[in-house]
Chains A and B, each alone.
Chain A
Amino acid sequence: MLWVVLGFLVVSLLFYCVLGGADFGAGALELFVPKKNRKRHEELVNHVMGPVWEANHIWLIIIIVILFNAFPSVYTQYSIYFHIPLTLMLIGIVFRGCAFTFRNYDTIKDDTHRYYSYAFAFSSLLTPIMFGMILGGMFFGVNPDAPTYYQRYITSWFNLPSFSIGVFVLSLFAYLASVYLVGETGEKVARGYYIRYAQKTSVVMLLSGVLVFLLSETTNHPLIKIFFSNPTSVICFMFATVLTIIFWLNIKRGKMTEWTIRLIAGSQVAFVLFAWLAVIFPIVLFYRNGAKLSIIDSAAPFVTINILAWALILGSLLFLPILYYLIRVFKVTK
C-alpha cells in the first residue's frame, strides 16, 4: 500500500508539473510576448485556462495532503527549512489565481486589467522559480546545525545552483505552455509565434540545464557524477534528448498533430522528473551534516497509509471521469 501512495504522489507531482506547469508558463510568457501580440495571447490564455486552472492546481493540494498524511516528517521538515520560499510560492499562487480570475470575471473591462495582468504574469514567474529553488535546497542540503538564522533558513535554498534549477523549472514550464498553446490557437500566424516561443524556451531550458550541472560541481553534491552513474537517470535523459530532437525536426513541417506535440512535451517533463527522482529516491531531503531523510523511513503507520491508499483509489475513480469529461467538453467543442 505504501507503493500505491508513493505512486499517487509521483503521478500528482507529474500532473502538477505538466498541467499546473503549463498554466504557470502561459502566465510567465505574458511578460515576454511582444506588445502587439499581448492582447491576443491574453485572450487565448483566458479561453484555454479558464475552465481548468482550478482543477490543475488541485494536484498541488493532493501532493500536500499525501505528504502530511503519509509522510509527516517530510512535510514538517520542508515546512521548517523552506518556510521562506514556500511562503513566497504561496503568495505567488494567491496572486496569480486571484489576478487571473479577477481579470477574467470583472464585469467592466477597463484599464485596471493591466494591473491584474502584471500581477498574474509576475507571480507566474516567481512561483516556478521558488519551486525550483526548493528542489535545489532539498538536494544541496539544509543546515540545521548552522549558528545563524541566515545559514539555517536562507542560504540552503538561496544560492546559485538552486537558482539555476529555478530558472530551469521556469523555462520548462514556459516551454510546455508554448507547446500547449500551439495546439490551442486556430490561427496560422499565432501558431508560428508559439512555435518560435517553444524553440526559444527550449534553448533557455537547455542552457539552464547545463548550468545546473556545472554549478552543482561547486557543491558537495556534484550532479554530473551522481547523475551519469545512475542508469535509470541516464536512460531517462536519453529519452528526453531523443524526444527533443524529434520535436525540433518535425515542428516546423507542421506534420504532427497537436496531441502528438503535447504528448512529446508531456513525456519530456515526465522523463526529467523521473531522472530527478532516480537520482534522489528514496531520499527527499539532504542535510549538510550528512544526515538524510528517506521518504520510506518516514512513512506513517500502516493503518494510515492503508486508508489513504483506498481514499486515493476511490477518490480518483470519482474525479478522473468527470475531469476527463470537463476537458473533453471544453477542448473538443471549439
Chain B
Amino acid sequence: MTDLLSARLQMSLTLGFHIIFACVGMVMPFLMVASHGLWLKTKEPVYYEMARAWSKGVAILFATGAVSGTVLSFELGLLWPGFMQHAGPIIGMPFSFEGTAFFVEAIAIGFYLYGWKKVDPYIHWLSAWLVGISGIASGIFVVAANSWMNAPTGFDWVNNQAINIDPVKAMFNDAWFSQSLHMIIAAFEAVGFAVVGVHAYFLLKEPKNVFHTKAIKIVIWFAVIAAILQPISGDRSAKEIAVRQPIKLAASEADFKTQNYAPLRVGGIVDMIHEKVNGDIEIPGVLSFLAFSRFNAQVKGLDDFPKENWPPVPIVHYAFELMVACGTLLALIGLVFIVRFYMKKDIIPKRWFLKLLVFCAPLGFIALEAGWTVTEVGRQPWIIYGIMKTKDAVTPMPGLIVPFIAFTLLYVFLAVNVTWLMVRQFKAVTNKSY
C-alpha cells in the first residue's frame, strides 16, 4: 500500500469515526432539552429519568467525540502538511470559531452532566440549550472549512503560493451554506432515527413501557422532520455541484458521457474498462431536470475531463446510490408517519411500524457516512479542488501504514468498547420500571 493511500485511509477512518460522535454531540442536547423541558413543565419523573438516561450516554459519546476531534486537529498536519501550510491561514478562521464554540460546548456539558440538583433547574436547562447551540455552531464552522476545499476562494494562487488572502471570503465560500445545512439536517436525521430505533426495539419487547413510549413521542418528530427536509436540501446541493463541481456529479451518477436529456441512474454495476454501467435503470431526462430544472439541459459527463482528474468513480457512485436510497426510504417513512398522525392523531405506531423503525435505526448514519464519502472521495484527486492535488499534500514521512494500522486498531477497540457500554446503559434503563 502506498503512503498516500495509507494516509487517505487513515483520514477517512478517523473522520468517519469522529463524525458519528460529533453528530451525537450536536443533536442529543436538543433531545435532552425537550425531555428536561417537559419535566420542568409537567413534573413527571419519567421525563427526568429520560433526560438523565440520555445524558449518561451522551457523556460517553461526547468524550469519544472530543478526543477523536483532538486527533483530527493534529492529523491535518501529521498527514497533510503540504495542505495545511497553505490552507491554515486561509481557513483558520472557521477553525478558530469552531475551537471557541467547542470550548463553550465542553464547559456547558460539564455543567449539565454534573449540575443535577446543584444549580437552579432553569439555569441547568439553559446549559443544555447552550451545549446544543454551540454544538451546531461548531458543526457549521467545521463544515464551512471543509466546503472551502470544494469551493476554494478568498485567495490568489500564484507560483504555488496563496497570496491576497481573505479569510472572510474563504469561510463564506459558495458551498458553505448548502453543505452545512445538509450536514446539520443529516445529523438530526441520523441521530433521531438511531435513538427512535433503540427505543422502538425496547418497546417491542415491553409494549406497555411508558419510558420508551414517551421517548419515541419526543424523538420521532426530530427524525421525521429532518428526513422530510433532507431531500430538499440535497436537491439544492446537487444543483450547486452540477455547476461548481460537475465532475463530482458525473462520478456520483457514473455518467461517462456528456449528454442532453441526461437520465437519472438507479442501481447498476460500474464497468471502468468499457466505461459504462451495466444493469441499471435509467429514467430519461430526470438528471438534467434535477440539476438544471430543464429536461433537455446538458449534463457534463466524465469524458469532459482529463482522466487523471477523475475521482474513483465506482466508490463515489455506489456511495451516492447508498445515500440516496437510505435518504429516500427515511423520507418515505417520515411521510407515512405524518399522514398517519393527521389521520389517527396517534403517535405511537403499530408493531409493524415499530419493527420498521428498528430496521431503520442505522440507516441515517449509513447515509451520512456515504454522503461524506461522496463529498470527499468525489473531490479526489484534489485536496483543494482545482488547486492542489492530494498527493502533493501528503507528509514526506514514509511508512504511513504503521500509524494507519495503529489508529485502525485503536478505533475498532474504542468502537467495541463504546457499543458495549451503550448496551449496558440500555439494559440498566430497561431494568427500571415506571
Contacts and interface: CB of A to CB of B under 8 A. Distances in A.
Contacts of A319: 100, 103-104, 107
B260 interface: no
B232 interface: no
B140 interface: no
Interface string B61-97: 0111011111101111110011011101110110111
B397 A80 contact: yes
A68 B92 contact: yes
A72 interface: yes
Interface in B109-139: 109-111, 113-115, 118-119, 130
A256 to B, nearest CB: 28
A52 B107 CA distance: 7
B277 interface: no
Nearest to A87: B403
B18 to A, nearest CB: 11
A62 B98 CA distance: 10
A303 B171 CA distance: 14
> Chain B interface residue count: which class?
35 or more
B107 A322 contact: yes
Nearest to A47: B114
B61 to A, nearest CB: 9
Contacts of B102: 58, 61
A149 B114 contact: no
A54 B60 CA distance: 12
A118 interface: no
A308 interface: yes
Contacts of A329: 111, 115, 118-119
Q: Is the interface of A mostly helix, strand, loop or mixed?
A: helix
B92 A70 contact: yes
Q: Is the interface of B mostly helix, strand, loop or mixed?
A: helix
Given A65-B99, A315-B100, A79 B84 contact: yes
Interface string A210-226: 00000000000000000
A105 B96 contact: no
Contacts of B417: 98, 102
Interface string B396-434: 111100010010001000100100010011001000000
Contacts of B96: 65-66, 69, 308, 311-312, 315
B165 A301 contact: yes
B351 interface: no
A64 interface: yes
B59 A105 contact: yes
A308 B56 CA distance: 35
Contact of B114 (A51, A73, A77): A51
B106 interface: yes
Contact of B73 (A65, A87, A300, A307): A65
Given A94-B68, A300-B88, A80 B99 contact: no
Nearest to B429: A107
B167 interface: yes
B110 A90 contact: no
B165 A98 contact: no
A228 to B, nearest CB: 35
B275 interface: no
Nearest to A96: B67
Contacts of B395: 79-80, 83
A72 B85 contact: yes
A232 B379 CA distance: 51
A73 B74 CA distance: 14
B93 A62 contact: no
A90 B71 contact: yes
A83 to B, nearest CB: 5
Contacts of B166: 303
A196 interface: no
B269 interface: no
Contacts of B69: 61
A98 B92 contact: no
The 3 closest A-B pairs by CB, nearest first: A69-B92, A79-B77, A315-B100
6 contacts: A52-B110, A62-B99, A79-B84, A106-B424, A153-B397, A326-B107
Interface of A: 50-52, 54-55, 57-58, 60-62, 64-66, 68-70, 72-73, 75-80, 83, 86-87, 90-91, 93-95, 97-98, 100-102, 104-108, 149, 152-153, 300-301, 303-304, 307-308, 311-312, 315, 318-319, 322-323, 325-326, 329-330, 333
